[in-house]
Amino acid sequence: MDLNNIKNIEKDAISSIVSATLEELENIRVKFLGKKGLLKEALNKISGLSLEEKKVIGKEINDLKDKIESYIANRKEELIAKEKEEQLKKEKIDITLPGKPFKQFKIHPLSIVISDIIKIFTKLGFSVEEGPEIEEEYYNFDALNIPDYHPARDDQDSFYIRDKKLLRTQTSGVQIRVMEKQKPPIAIISPGRCYRKDDVDATHSPIFHQIEGLVVDTDVSFSDLKGILKLFAKEMFGEGTNVRFRPDFFPFTEPSAEVAFTCISCGGKGCSMCKGTGWIEVAGCGMVDPEVFKNVGIDYEKYKGYAFGMGIERIAMIKYRIPDIRLFYENDVRFLDQFYNF
Ligand code: DAH
């Protein structure tokens, strides 16, 4: 064993380390530095040398051990860096590609109309109440003085669930819920979804929206009702809008009226939208029937009230000249895109 041998081991180690892969490096480490490796073997072989030689060659072997360790470590670092670089190259995102266009969100026309109606009535001092869409027969019919034999209670017209529960056919039940928990004076509106077994066509949908109104106080008259609906019509459709009241019948109001607004399409002259009449029906209304007050324990000698119920789709169709109710529910973006943005 001499210095030449050591130099040869070093050359051998360097040449295999510089071209080694990560996996091969471990084998190289074992080959040179392992318990039975070449350096151990060399150390074993110096026992026969003189003390001086042992010192010189032993130091060379130990130095070589450190060198090989650092060659391996450097090569390992180099290989890991290279691997990372390649991976980054492979996964590079091409930021020059055009992005996917982002569709801007618009509000559904029914939501716009509901919030417009709420704005008008809250300005007048009304508050907003909500009622359940799965309603008890009692609130949807009985308490509103709608008798058992009334055709609206028929399975043909209402979606019954069970246990005297159904999908509400009108928002009028909210009147009862409010009067049960609140003492007069009362001034509320209540927008919401309603359901009826209607066949779908241009003006009918089994799901639709109504907005209910109720005012109860000691000094309330039919002219207050007329005044509030006139004011609403002008705020919603413009100053030139007139309101027509014609006698009608609802079991929960007496007297009752059907309400029509001037057709905004023709200004009252008559067109296809108003079927030549110049008017468009939008609501039912009337003075709260004493029977209803009895059902909720309000003194009907002392208090009077008026109520109204409007079809929200109707109002939206007039306001935005929408020809077919089905358009509200199809979620076709070409339709939805036409309405106001935020
Ligand atoms: N709920 C009635 C309907 O669906 C509309 C209505 C009429 C509501 C008269 C009222 C009212 O509050 O007083 O046809």
Q: What are the tens digits of pLDDT across the range 123-178?
A: 999 999 999 999 999 999 999 999 888 887 877 789 999 889 999 999 999 999 99
Sign, CA torsion 305/154/312/106: positive
pLDDT in tens, 198-224: 999 988 999 999 999 999 999 999 999
For 115-122, what is the mean pLDDT?
Answer: 97
For residue 342, the model assigns a pLDDT of 42
* Closest residue CA from atom 4 of ligand 1: 170
What's the 285 CA to ligand 1 centre distance in angstroms?
Answer: 6
Tell which atom from ligand 1 comes closest to the C-alpha of 213.
12
Distance 278 CA to ligand 1 centre (A): 23
Could you tell me the residue ranges of all domains in the chain? Answer: 3-91, 109-340
Residue nearest to atom 3 of ligand 1 (CA): 170
Distance 172 CA to ligand 1 centre (A): 6
Of 213, 222, 209, nearest in space to 186 by CA: 213
Atom of ligand 1 nearest to the CA of 284: 7
Is residue 242's pLDDT more than 80? yes
Which residue puts its alpha carbon closest to atom 12 of ligand 1? Answer: 308
pLDDT of residue 340: 64
Domain with residues 109-340, CATH architecture: 2-Layer Sandwich (3.30)
pLDDT of residue 221: 97
Ligand 1 pocket, CB under 6 A? 170, 172, 212, 250, 253, 256, 284-286, 307-309
Alpha carbon of 7 to ligand 1 centroid (Å): 106
What pLDDT is attached to residue 331? 86
**Rounded mean pLDDT of 310-321?**
93
pLDDT at 3 over 90: no
pLDDT digits (tens, 9 = 90+) for 80-96: 999 999 999 999 888 88
pTM of the predicted protein model: 0.71
The best mutation among 145, 166, 178, 252 to test binding of ligand 1, ranked by most ligand atoms within 8 Å of the C-beta, falls on 252
* Overall average pLDDT of the 25-37 stretch: 94
Q: Average model confidence (pLDDT) for the chain?
A: 93
Model confidence at 56: pLDDT above 60? yes
Atom number, ligand 1, closest to the C-alpha of residue 194: 4
The residue whose CA has the least distance to atom 7 of ligand 1 is: 284
